[in-house]
Amino acid sequence: MKSPPLTLVLGRVGFASITLLIFGFLTGRRLPASLPLWGAFLIMGFLNNLIPFSLIVWSQQHIQSSLASILNATTPIFSVVLAHFLTNEERLTVNRSAGVLLGWLGVALLIGVESLGGFDLQIVGYAAMLGAALSYACAAIYGRRFKGLSHIAVTTGMLCCSSVMMIPLVLIFEQPLALHPGPTAWGAILGLSVLSTSLAYIIYFRVLATSGATNLLLVTFLIPISAILLGVFILGERLGWNALGGMLLIFTGLIAIDGRLLKRMPPLKGWLPQNRIRAGGFAAQKEKH
């Protein structure tokens, strides 16, 4: 029996919210009282929790976890394109544009051009993972407005709003009261909520405030590697040549977008504009507000 995705997401954000509320109470921390700020928490929860969590849980019922993690690595590719149009600090340069192109070639190779001729749940699963990556990229850019606020307060507010939004969706579309999860399922949900959500988002907002949206999303370099290892050795998954080739192209694109490795390479005179490379790396991006 497949897990109901919305119920699983509610368990994740709900227990994470409870954990942070208890922590805040024990440490004497107070949540902000500003209504506009809570409106911003609501939008952040929608972009960073409700949409991507729901899409990822549903997607992984139809595609391998390894493939899902590789597609999730496209988040910085979405981020640099959105940042070019939505911010004044992070502009597309030659190496970033090349990285975007390489990344999308990798996605096309991974999915397979021939797959686009049909329509099945696997294709929808791929699309759902790309939708989650796009939502994460939007959230990273939107979340820059929380700079200067307590990371714990922002995380708690966002997760509480996510929980409130998830409750009616779960009651309308699923039957959570009919479920009878065992100890293993409860342990997985608690680990996912406390470690992978509460603690992870505190770190997330701290890095976002100090390093910027695009730099933050470099963590997607690590997700496919760990997910592939776990998928192969624990779930018995096997990746085809197109998945490995697609991952290589996506990673090459991310390296080009980052730019720091290119800056360390010897100058390629005559065809590579070095001034663009110096301005294009993640390391050059600084928050100005």
Residue 10: how many CB atoms within 10 A of its CB? 25
Average pLDDT of the residues of the chain = 83
List the chain domain ranges: 5-284
Q: What is the pLDDT of residue 211?
A: 73
Cβ-contact 256, 98 below 8 angstroms: yes
pTM: 0.81
Residues 42-78 have pLDDT tens digits of: 999 999 999 999 999 999 888 888 888 889 888 888 9
Handedness of CA 235, 240, 244, 249 (dihedral sign): negative
Residues 72-123 have pLDDT tens digits of: 888 888 988 998 888 877 788 888 899 899 988 988 888 876 565 566 788 8
Q: Over 70: is that where the pLDDT of 35 sits?
A: yes
Q: How confident is the model at residue 207 (pLDDT cuts 50, 70, 90)?
A: confident
Cβ-contact 183, 140 below 8 angstroms: no
Which class for 231: exposed (0-12), middle (13-18), buried (19 or more C-beta within 10 A)? buried
Kindly state the tokens that stand for 274. 């070095």
| Nearest CA-CA partner of 154 in 38, 252, 277 | 38
Dist CA 9 CA 197 (whole Å): 11
Q: How far apart are the first and last CA of the chain?
A: 49
Lowest average pLDDT, out of 70-79, 177-186, 275-284, goes to: 275-284
